[in-house]
Structure 1
């Protein structure tokens, strides 16, 4: 499929998704409590079959879903994306037992997943993780005795001790993909991915009050037991699990951003065509028309790069890390620009609580930070293009 063209079935599906988001998902989103998991909304995503597609479709499909849902209901988009981010490592690297236990429930919308990578001192520098996975017997007993069923089957090989922070869906998720250091001093090579159910003894957490309305929290690990059966992939190879997941989801973060940018652009087109100003309509002012043209140009350019990166992922191209970073960087920075300009052209009304642009203005800032800040994406791009240059010498 050419990166710049969608076929008629895909175009029709996107329109259907926007309608579903507007008619069935937004009402549930509006009933949710900001900063907390909206289980009714997640369940409806499952009923619509959208969560199952996280495991049966490729990157292009994921981007189409995220862009279309974001256009009409950012809360639904984020709920879908967080399920995918938390569960993809299980789908891609889990054992059959792990997949059988969790993926059907994620697809149904009855189990909430979370991706626990960032830490208080290791956000953008993911290789600097400090959460320890210590082998051997535990000398300290967790302060609260958990239900017997919470203990993992078999003797614990490791105990997780430390903190995670800025974790979406925490502390309300049902299980976490957790990245912990199994070999001290080994950098990225000494990290292991674990599937940790939320009822494990010693696992606690608190909610964080953030600008974005979706749930984000911190997790504490007080000698949380995990066994070999909880490992995702291979011991000391968890960084590959993390980066493989991010290479898939970074372009789709771009799709989320494009959906918001398109919503802001369409709102601006309608407003400037109807708003009276200086004896005519706002759109008749050359400065306004040129600004709207710039918004449209940047949005379309970002959209093309997102789907180029998604197509590269689906085709197994070698330059996926570079393309994924470029797509996330351009699309998130573009969305910030477009939404900001839309607010400016709308004036004070766009700042009123409950206005679409007021909502988008709060939503659009975070994607430039999570899953690798814009500065990190620039570093990835530079590293990849210099490596390519050296390879052809």
Structure 2
């Protein structure tokens, strides 16, 4: 993905923050019509016309990131500003309407935890070398947390360990089910210091994909054909100490807000896809001939659609409340995000299953995007924490 930038790093950041400052003139935390139109225009031109072809050929169009930067979109998603957070929510909503959860995951995963951790905790050296190129779309980032033995349980991570020396560190272990791998130019890895007995003693290490001792392999998955999902194996991977992100042993503390934000961003994208699924099915039952009329003339069909729209409206209203609380940094937002993610995942799967039934045999055709949405949503429900992990987090909070 190496490309010649139009601006040098200093000029790029000045331009990006100029845009941010101009847009901060408004106190509205829920809308940015100019940015919304910019994103819609980009997706209509560069993504939506090609989605079916990419899905069919299982292509991972990583050059979308560079095009997003050229269009001025990436630099307006600064992870550390109110406007940037607003714009990421707008982008997530628009990405959901592409009807390709794979492409949506590829873009949003790059913008979420990797960019947030680098923006808040990385040294100037790492920001210059990785963050700025990533915001220009010249580098693709990934985050390595999940392991085979521990799954989504952060406190049980033990496979990936780091040993520190005077001027270097050595990484060993394995991460699995990692988005944007292979393909990522760098991975932020959550690892445990070798020999540590502290259950929460984790450190973030930035590992370049071309570093010796790192091997990436793609996992063949049934859903999500337009994003890479893979394993990373570290075998005596030697790195300089300046590739530590933040302070040693503070990794879990750094992850709290970025992980919640990733869940919120993902929820917005899923909600947007759910709206597309319902609207498409409404159009179908309104035109599909049946006996002496169309499907919508049947009471059972109308009532089923009514149930789905009601479910959508409920989760949509709750999503708006959670978004506002998150943007305003309210204390209850983190737990609300977990509940929202749990609720939206369950509702989306119920809705897409019912819509497939209403579409009959047509719904299960390989060429029908509803069939793709069905399998993609099954996989997306476990991103940023499985349903069980979310329930455990919620239960710990409500049973204090």
In 2, Cα distance between equivalents of 1:170 and 1:279: 53
* Aligned-partner SS, 1:52: helix
1:200 and 1:338, CA in 2 relative to 1: closer, same or farther beyond 3 A?
A: same
Matched, 1:239 2:265: no
1:196 to 207, 216, 226: 207
Higher mean C-alpha deviation, range 74-83 or range 20-29: 20-29
* Aligned-partner SS, 1:172: coil
Counterpart for residue 111 of structure 1:
139
Counterpart for residue 167 of structure 1:
178
* Aligned-partner SS, 1:39: coil
Instruction: Give 1:28 deviation, angstroms.
Output: 4.7
Instruction: Give 1:175 deviation, angstroms.
Output: 0.5
Matched, 1:276 2:289: yes
In 1, Cα distance between equivalents of 2:63 and 2:152: 32
1:10 and 1:173, CA in 2 relative to 1: closer, same or farther beyond 3 A?
A: same
User: Structure 1: any 5+ residue segments left out of the alignment?
Assistant: 1-5, 138-154, 388-393
2:161 to 114, 119, 132: 132
Instruction: Give 1:200 deviation, angstroms.
Output: 1.5
Counterpart for residue 47 of structure 2:
25
In 1, Cα distance between equivalents of 2:256 and 2:249: 14
> Does the CA-based 8 Å contact 1:162-1:221 persist in structure 2?
yes
Instruction: Give 1:248 deviation, angstroms.
Output: 1.0
1:93 to 114, 121, 131: 121
* Aligned-partner SS, 1:364: helix
Alignment of 1:31-70 (within 5 A): 32=54, 37-55=60-78, 56=81, 57-70=83-96
Instruction: Give 1:319 deviation, angstroms.
Output: 1.7
Counterpart for residue 339 of structure 2:
326
> Does the CA-based 8 Å contact 1:42-1:79 persist in structure 2?
no
- The CA deviation string for residues 131-165 of structure 1, in whole angstroms up to 9 with x for no partner, is 0111348xxxxxxxxxxxxxxxxx31x21100000
1:40 and 1:218, CA in 2 relative to 1: closer, same or farther beyond 3 A?
A: same
- The CA deviation string for residues 200-254 of structure 1, in whole angstroms up to 9 with x for no partner, is 1101111100122121010010111233311112111101222221111111111
> Does the CA-based 8 Å contact 1:201-1:225 persist in structure 2?
yes
Instruction: Give 1:170 deviation, angstroms.
Output: 0.9
* Aligned-partner SS, 2:359: helix
1:8 and 1:60, CA in 2 relative to 1: closer, same or farther beyond 3 A?
A: closer
In 1, Cα distance between equivalents of 2:189 and 2:58: 21
1:318 and 1:280, CA in 2 relative to 1: closer, same or farther beyond 3 A?
A: same
User: Structure 2: any 5+ residue segments left out of the alignment?
Assistant: 1-27
> Does the CA-based 8 Å contact 2:77-2:85 persist in structure 1?
no
> Does the CA-based 8 Å contact 1:35-1:209 persist in structure 2?
no
Higher mean C-alpha deviation, range 23-32 or range 202-211: 23-32
- The CA deviation string for residues 75-94 of structure 1, in whole angstroms up to 9 with x for no partner, is 44222202113322111221
Alignment of 1:1-393 (within 5 A): 10=32, 14=36, 17-30=39-52, 32=54, 37-55=60-78, 56=81, 57-74=83-100, 75-85=102-112, 86-130=114-158, 131-136=160-165, 155-156=167-168, 158-182=169-193, 184=195, 186=197, 188-211=199-222, 212-213=224-225, 214-387=227-400
Higher mean C-alpha deviation, range 54-63 or range 162-171: 54-63
> Does the CA-based 8 Å contact 1:179-1:192 persist in structure 2?
yes
In 1, Cα distance between equivalents of 2:246 and 2:208: 17
